[in-house]
Copies of this chain bind each other. A is one copy, B any other.
């Protein structure tokens, strides 16, 4: 049964596997001091046109979020996140475990606008309440939506003028950068945030996220934090080799583009069948609204999540495509739907 449940159902792109095989028996330094990691870091610096960043390769998204936020904040400082933000809902209180409150902002599209942060800053701030210090965004958001260059620029300026750290979760960043409707580059991500990560796990790697730290004061001793949180892999080259491949010959973006195209193909098919959507998403997660009996029928042939009850007869489902999604499966899904 074909699955549109998520973008981590398969292993890794062939080029990555081949690179693992090719380098397998060559001895390297541990803990990320290997040549592959150094090379991957160097490629990322070039890609964002900034040689003055620190790049750390970390195994997963929650791990990266908790390590970064735990290192960036003092004990009384808090994060601001959309109520849909991954750190707010799907990380089992990982951020709170590091001691920090996550203040949520209600958001219909998963995005944060300066006005909403301003409301928080305008409430009385004193020693009886936490101090908002870091703004967490995800791009694309957990609802598949993306920030425009203008939106991110505004957010960035707002944060800067309010002495807030802007941090972006890019678990699916490739899909945001490659979205047809998008106008943001990887370089923009670096320019407009203080730190962000480039997701590998959901875009062709076995595991791995590349955390980019731009703001000088956040860089110091960061490797200590990675180690303390248990995130420093002995065989760090496992991450290095993968990002080396992903950023060779544009592979990272090719894979993201494929994921987006498959989602677009699905969307077009769904629209032809007069389907509405919970939200308009230009990336690899889409949220069509279907009749429950149709959902039941589709579930016999495909795997996916039912996301939200709309009314007694209809629900929104979530369909996720990826670098590995087969066009035939997409077409089959649409055919099945149209029956």
A residues touching B (Cβ–Cβ < 8 Å)? 2-3, 5-6, 8-12, 14, 17, 20-21, 23-31, 59-67, 70-71, 74-76, 78, 89-94, 96-102, 127-131, 201-202, 206-207, 221, 223-235, 237-238, 303, 324
Most chain B CB neighbours (cut-off 10 Å) among A23, A27, A92, A202: A92
Which of A10, A26, A71, A93 has the most chain B CB within a 10 Å cutoff? A93
Residue ID in chain B nearest A11 by CB atoms: B24
Contact A128 B227 (CB under 8 A): yes
Quick one: which of A28, A75, A94, A206 has the most chain B CB within 10 A? A75
Contact for A60 among B61, B93, B98, B233, CB less than 8 A: B233
B-chain residues with CB within 8 Å of residue A232 when the two chains form the complex: 60, 62, 127
- A46–B100 Cα distance when bound, in Å, is 37
User: What is the CA–CA distance of A316 and B26 in the complex, to the nearest angstrom?
Assistant: 27
Which residues in B have their C-beta under 8 angstroms from that of A303? 27
Nearest CB in chain B: distance from A170 CB, A: 15
Contacts A225-B75, A235-B206 given: A9-B24 contact, CB under 8 Å? no
Q: Which residues of chain B come closer than 8 Å to A228, judged between CB atoms?
A: 75-76, 91-94, 97
Residue numbers in B under 8 Å from A10 (CB-CB): 24-27
Shortest distance between the CB of A226 and any CB in chain B (Å):
7
Assembled-state Cα–Cα distance A70/B303 (Å): 35
Q: For A101, give its contact among B2, B31, B93, B227 (CB under 8 Å).
A: B93
Q: Is the CB of A207 within 8 A of B238?
A: yes
Please, how many angstroms separate the alpha-carbon atoms of A82 and B238 in the complex?
31
CA of A9 to CA of B36, assembled, Å: 13
What are 13 A-B pairs at a CB distance below 8 A? A10-B27, A14-B24, A20-B206, A62-B230, A76-B93, A92-B224, A94-B228, A96-B101, A96-B130, A99-B99, A127-B221, A207-B233, A229-B230
Assess whether B93 is in contact with A221, with CB atoms less than 8 Å apart.
no
Which residue on chain B has the smallest CB distance to residue A64?
A: B230
Q: Is the Cβ of B94 less than 8 Å from the Cβ of A97?
A: no
Complex-state Cα separation, A96 to B63, whole angstroms? 18
A77 CB to closest chain B CB (Å) equals 8
Cα–Cα, bound, A94→B226 (Å): 10
Output the nearest chain B residue to A67 by Cβ-Cβ distance.
B230
Contacts of A64 in B (CB 8 A): 230
Kindly state the separation between the CA atoms of A223 and B99 in the bound complex, as whole angstroms. Answer: 17
Minimum CB–CB distance for A46 against chain B, Å = 26
A98 surroundings in chain B (CB, below 8 A): 75
Closest 7 A-B residue pairs measured CB to CB?
A63-B230, A11-B24, A76-B224, A9-B27, A127-B223, A8-B234, A92-B228
- A25 touching B224 in the complex, CB below 8 Å, given contacts A89-B129, A207-B235: no
Among A2, A11, A67, A233, the one with the most B-chain Cβ atoms within 10 Å of its Cβ is A11
The docked-state distance in angstroms from the alpha carbon of A64 to that of B91 is 18
* A280, chain B: closest CB distance, angstroms: 25
- Cβ-defined contact, B27 with A90, below 8 A: no
A329 to nearest B CB, angstroms?
10
User: Do A230 and B227 touch across chains, with their CB atoms under 8 A apart?
Assistant: no
The answer to whether A238 and B206 touch across the interface, beta carbons within 8 angstroms, is yes
Contact across chains for B92 and A59 when beta carbons are under 8 A apart:
no
